Structure 1
Amino acid sequence: MKKLFLFPLILLLLSGITETAIAQNRNHLIVQLMDEWKKPVPYATLHLVRSTDSASMGISMSNEQGICTFQISMLKDVHLEISSAGYAKQVLNLSYEHGSRQRDTITIVLKKQVASLSGVTVLAKKPFIEYKTDRITMNVQQNLTTAGLTVLELLERVPGLSVDKDGNIIMQGKTGVQVIIDGRATLMNTADLVKLLRSMPADQVASIESLHAPSAKYDATGNAGIILIKTKKRNATGMYGSLNIGAGYGNFAKANVDASLQYRKGKWGLIGQYGYMYNKKSKELGIDRTDRNSVVPVYFNQNSLGHEEASNHNMRVGIDYQASKRSSFYVNLSSAHQSLDQFTSANTGIGRPLPDSSLGSVSCGDQGIRHYSSGLSYKYAIPEKGREFTVDADYMHYRSDENMYYDNRFFDANGASYKPDRNFRSFAPSAIDIYSLKADYSMTFLKNIQLETGLKMTSVGSGNQINFEEKKSSNWESDLLRSNSFTYDEDVFAGYLNLSAKTGKWGYQGGFRIEHTKSSGFSPTLNREVNRNYTDIFPNLHISYRINSMHNISFSYNRRIQRPNYQNLNPFVYFIDQYAYSAGNAYLNPQYANNLSLTYLLKNKYMIQAAMIYTSDIMAQVLLPDSANRALFETHENLESEKIYRLTIHAPLAIKKWWNASISASGMYMGYEAGDLKGKALSTGQKFVMVQSTHQFNLGKGYNLEITGKYTSPLTYATMRVRPENFVDMGLSKKLMSGKGNLKIQVNDIFNIRKQHLNSLYPGFEYKLTQKLESRIARLSFSYAFGNNGGKTQSNRESGARPEMERLKL
Structure 2
Amino acid sequence: MFNIASLMIKLVVLFLLLIFCFTWGFSQNKTAVINGKVLNHENPAIGFYVFLINYRDSAIVKSTTTNNKGYFNFDNLKEGKYLIALINTGYQNKYSEIITIDRDTKLVSLPDLTLKKPDKNLNEVIVSTSKPYIERKLGKTVLNLESNVFGLGSTGFEVFETLPGINIKSTELSLNGKSNIAVFIDDKPSNLTGENLIEYLKNLPTNNIEKIEIIDGNSAKYDAAYNGGIINIKFKKGKNIGTNSTISTGGGLGLNYRYNTSININKRTAKSNLYLNYDFAKIKALDQTFLNRTINSNPLGRSAFSKTIIDVSNNDIKTRNNHSAILGYDYQIDDKQSLSLLMNAFSNRMFSDELNQSLISHDELDSTINSTSLENRLLTNLSGNIRYKKDLDKKGKTFTSAMDFLTFNRNSEEDLNSVYLNHNNAEYKAPLLFNNQTPSKINIISGNIDYAIPTKKALLEFGFKANTVRISNSRMINIQSGKTYIQNPNINFNYQENIIAGYSNYAYKNDKYSISAGLRLEQTFASGDTSVNSSLIDRNYFSLFPNLSLTKQLNKKNKLALNYNKGITRPRYDQINPFSYFLDQFTYNQGNAQLRPSTINSTKLEWELDAKYVFDAHYNYTNNFIYTVYKQDFRNNVAIASMQNFDYRQSIGISLSVPITVAKWYELGLYAEGNKEYFKYLDASNISIFNSSLNASLMLNHNFQLPKAIKATINMLYETPTAYAVYSFKPLYFMNIGFSKTVFDKKGSIRLTATDIFNTNSNRYSTNLAGINLIAKDKTETQSVRLNFSYKIGKQTVKAYQKRKSIVEDEKIRVGQ
Check whether TM > 0.5. yes
Aligned mate of 2:197, from 178, 193, 196: 193
Tell whether 2:484 aligns with 1:479.
no
Pairing 1:376-391 to 2, within 5 Å after superposition: 376-381=386-391, 384-391=394-401
- Alignment CA distance shift 1:558-1:85 (3 Å): farther
Alpha-carbon distance between aligned partners in 2 of 1:796 and 1:556, rounded to the nearest angstrom: 16
SS of residue in 2 equivalent to 1:568? helix
Encode CA deviations 1:253-281: one digit per residue, 9 max, x unaligned: 10111101111234333112211010111
Residue of 98, 122, 131 corresponding to 1:90: 98
Q: Give a deviation string over 1:9-54, Cα, whole Å, max 9, x none.
A: xxxxxxxxxxxxxxxxxxxxxxxxx9969x9979589xxxxxxxxx
Q: Output the CA distance in 1 between the equivalents of 2:656 and 2:539.
A: 42
Residue number in structure 2 paired with 1:128: 133
Shift of 1:212: 3.2
Question: Is residue 586 of structure 2 the alignment partner of residue 579 of structure 1?
Answer: yes
Deviation at 1:623, TM superposition (A): 2.7
Distance (whole Å) between structure 1 residues aligned to residue 678 and residue 285 of structure 2: 34
Asked whether the equivalents of residues 182 and 796 of structure 1 are also in contact (C-alpha less than 8 Å), the reply is no
- More moved, 197-206 vs 403-412: 197-206
User: Which residue matches 1:292?
Assistant: 296
Residue 264 of structure 2 aligns to which amino acid in structure 1? Answer: S
**Per-residue CA distance 1:723-760 (angstroms, 9 max, x = gap):** 00001000000110111110000001011111211110
| 1:484–1:526 CA contact under 8 A, matched in 2 | no
- Which stretch shows the higher mean deviation, 782-791 or 634-643? 782-791
For residues 503-536 of structure 1, what are the alpha-carbon distances to aligned partners after superposition, in whole Å with 9 as ceiling and x for unaligned? 2311111111111100101112345521111111
> 1:354: Cα distance to partner?
1.1
> Which of 152, 157, 167 is the equivalent residue of 2:157?
152
Letter matched to residue 474 of structure 2: Q
1:647 aligns with 2:651: no
The number of aligned residues is 719
Distance 1:635 1:511, change over 3 A: same
Among 247, 265, 272, which residue is 1:268 paired with?
272
Q: Can you list the C-alpha shifts for 1:338-377, whole angstroms capped at 9, x where unaligned? A: 1011122111111112111111122221111111122222
Give the distance between the partners of 1:35 and 1:771, measured in 2 at CA. Answer: 60
The answer to whether structure 1 residue 458 and structure 2 residue 467 are counterparts is: yes
Q: Could you tell me whether the CA contact under 8 Å between 2:675 and 2:696 is conserved in 1?
A: yes
Amino acid at match of 1:259: I
Residue 617 of structure 1 corresponds to which residue in structure 2?
624
Q: Does the CA-based 8 Å contact 2:217-2:226 persist in structure 1?
A: no
Residue 710 of structure 2: which of 699, 703, 709 is its match?
Answer: 703
Kindly provide the amino acid, as one letter, of the partner of residue 252 in structure 1: N
Specify whether residues 111 and 731 from structure 1 end up closer, same or farther in structure 2 by C-alpha distance, changes over 3 A only: farther
Q: Secondary structure at the match of 2:188?
A: coil
Query: What is the percent sequence identity of the aligned residues?
Result: 25
> Hey, what's the Cα distance between the residues in 1 that align with 2:653 and 2:114?
49
Q: Which amino acid aligns with 2:207?
A: D
Deviation readout 1:389-445 (Å, 9 max, x if unpaired)? 111112211111100112222111110111111111011111111111111111212
3-state SS in 1 of match to 2:132: coil
| 1:523 equivalenced with 2:523 (yes/no) | no
Is the counterpart of residue 592 in structure 1 residue 602 in structure 2?
no
| Matched ranges for 1:100-249 at <5 A | 119-121=123-125, 122-164=127-169, 166-222=170-226, 224-249=228-253
Does the Cα contact within 8 Å between 1:369 and 1:398 map onto a contact in 2? yes
Moved more, 652-661 or 374-383: 374-383
Give the letter for the 1:311 counterpart: N
Check whether the contact 2:432–2:482 (CA below 8 A) recurs between aligned residues: no
Q: Distance in 2 between matches of 1:185 and 1:211?
A: 13
Q: Which residue of 474, 488, 510 maps to 2:517?
A: 510
Change (3 A) 1:135 1:773: same
Alignment counterpart, residue 372 of structure 1, candidates 357, 382, 388 = 382
CA distance in 2, matches of 1:84, 1:161: 38
Match of 1:537 in 2: 544
Q: Quick one: distance in 2 between partners of 1:752 and 1:373?
A: 37
- Tell me if structure 2 keeps the 8 A contact 1:538–1:559: yes
Q: 1:688 matched to which residue of 2?
A: 695
1:40 & 1:671 partners in 2: Cα distance?
50
Residue 352 of structure 1 corresponds to 362
- What is the one-letter code of the residue matched to 2:407? H
Is 1:469 matched with 2:478?
yes
Match of 1:55 in 2: none
Matched residue of 2:443: which SS?
strand
Higher RCO (C-alpha under 8 Å, 6+ residues apart) = 1
What CA distance in whole angstroms lies between the structure 1 residues aligned with 2:752 and 2:459? 47
Deviates more, 1:464-473 or 1:572-581: 464-473
Residue matched to 2:410: 400
Give the letter for the 2:222 counterpart.
Answer: Y
Give 1:89 deviation, angstroms.
4.2
Aligned match of 1:325: 335
**SS in structure 1 opposite 2:766?**
strand
Pairwise CA distance, 1:110: 9.9
Q: Given residue 590 of structure 2, which amino acid in structure 1 is its aligned partner?
A: A
Q: Is the 8 A contact 1:247 1:780 kept in 2?
A: yes
What is the CA–CA distance in structure 1 between the aligned matches of 2:441 and 2:492, rounded to whole Å? 12
Of 321, 335, 339 in structure 2, the residue corresponding to residue 311 of structure 1 is 321
- Equivalent pair of 1:175/1:223 in contact (CA under 8 Å): no
Alignment root-mean-square deviation, CA: 3.1
Shift in Å, 1:382: 5.4
1:83 CA drift (Å): 8.3
Shift of 1:543: 0.4
- d(CA) in 2 for partners of 1:794, 1:556: 20
Deviations 1:298-355 (A, max 9, x none): 1111112111111011122222322211112222223211101112211111111211
Measured after TM superposition, the shift of residue 663 of structure 1 is 0.4
Give distance in 1, aligned partners of 2:748 and 2:812: 26
Q: 1:565 to 1:311 in 2, by over 3 A?
A: same
Amino acid at match of 1:126: K
Question: Residues 678-723 of structure 1: CA distance to partner in whole angstroms, max 9, x if unpaired?
Answer: 5432111100011001010001322100001000000011111000
2:644 to 629, 637, 647: 637
**TM, length-normalised to structure 1:** 0.84
Determine if contact 2:297/2:771 at 8 Å carries over to the other structure: no
Q: Is the 2:561–2:605 Cα contact (8 Å) retained in structure 1?
A: yes
Q: Which moved more, 1:465-474 or 1:745-754?
A: 465-474
Work out the CA distance in 2 between the residues paired with 1:292 and 1:623. 14
In 2: Cα distance, 1:239 partner to 1:356 partner: 69
Aligned partners of 1:233 and 1:794 also within 8 Å: no
Distance in 2, Cα, partners of 1:133 & 1:798: 12
Structure 1 gaps, min length 5:
1-33, 46-64, 68-81, 93-103, 801-810
Structure 2 unaligned blocks of 5 or more: 1-30, 35-51, 59-77, 86-94, 299-304, 799-805
Q: Label 1:257 to 1:517 Cα distance change in 2 as closer, same or farther (>3 A).
A: same
Name 1:738's counterpart in structure 2: 745
